[in-house]
Amino acid sequence: MMETFKSTLRRRIVLGAIYCSCACLLLALCVNPTVMRSTELRNGGGATIVYFAGLAANQHIPSFILGEITGVGLVMLAYILRCWLALRDETRLKKLYIAQKDERTALILDKAGGTALSVVIFGLALGAAAAGLFSEIAFFALNAAMLFALLVKAGFKLFYGKTL
């Protein structure tokens, strides 16, 4: 059981490292002034995801995405460190195993996830109705997001209905 968990942790470390490497590469490209394509981009505070920047409707959007990628990368780095330390120390490994496999925690996550998705769908429906008064694009975007969330929920319901 612990051996399976250890190999799961190793796999997670590899996947995390791949993500972090890609994020670092992207960051390196973005902060390098030679790859900035125009004065407009430089004025955008380094809004330079090279390809996307040309397509984005607003110059701040690439910066925002870059921030998200960096944030996820930092969280991933912390998780990699946690897994790596656990692999070197049996006590930490047992604690991590318990934290991840605890049945009450799993139940809390399941309940929170199910409820959260319903609240999100309801919020998106309300948001779409409100946005419809101001912006056609926002109305369709929020409706599309709501439909996607509904489809995901229905899909999982069907899947678990068949498999459990």
Partner 1 sequence: MKTRIPELRKQQKLSQEELALAVSVTRQTISSLESGKYIASLGLAFKIARYFGLHIEEVFDFSELEDANHDGNL
Residue 102 binding partner 1, by CB under 8 A: yes
Closest to partner 1 by CB, 10 or 94: 94
Nearest 5°: phi and psi at 134? -115, -40
Residue 112's contacts (CB-CB under 8 Å, 6 or more residues apart) are: none
Which range, of 52-60, 72-80, 101-109, 151-159, touches partner 1 by CB under 8 A? 101-109
Q: How many residues bind partner 1 (CB under 8 A)?
A: 10
* Out of 10, 11, 42, 94, the residue judged to bind partner 1 by CB under 8 A: 94
Closest to partner 1 by CB, 42 or 101: 101
In angstroms, the CA 162 to CA 158 distance is: 6
* Out of 7, 38, 43, 105, the residue judged to bind partner 1 by CB under 8 A: 105
* Out of 14, 31, 99, 144, the residue judged to bind partner 1 by CB under 8 A: 99
∠ CA(88), CA(80), CA(26), 5° rounding?
A: 145
**Contact assessment for residue 59 and residue 44, using Cβ atoms and an 8 Å cutoff:** yes
Residue type, 134: F
**Residue ranges in contact with partner 1 by CB under 8 A:** 94, 97-99, 101-105, 107
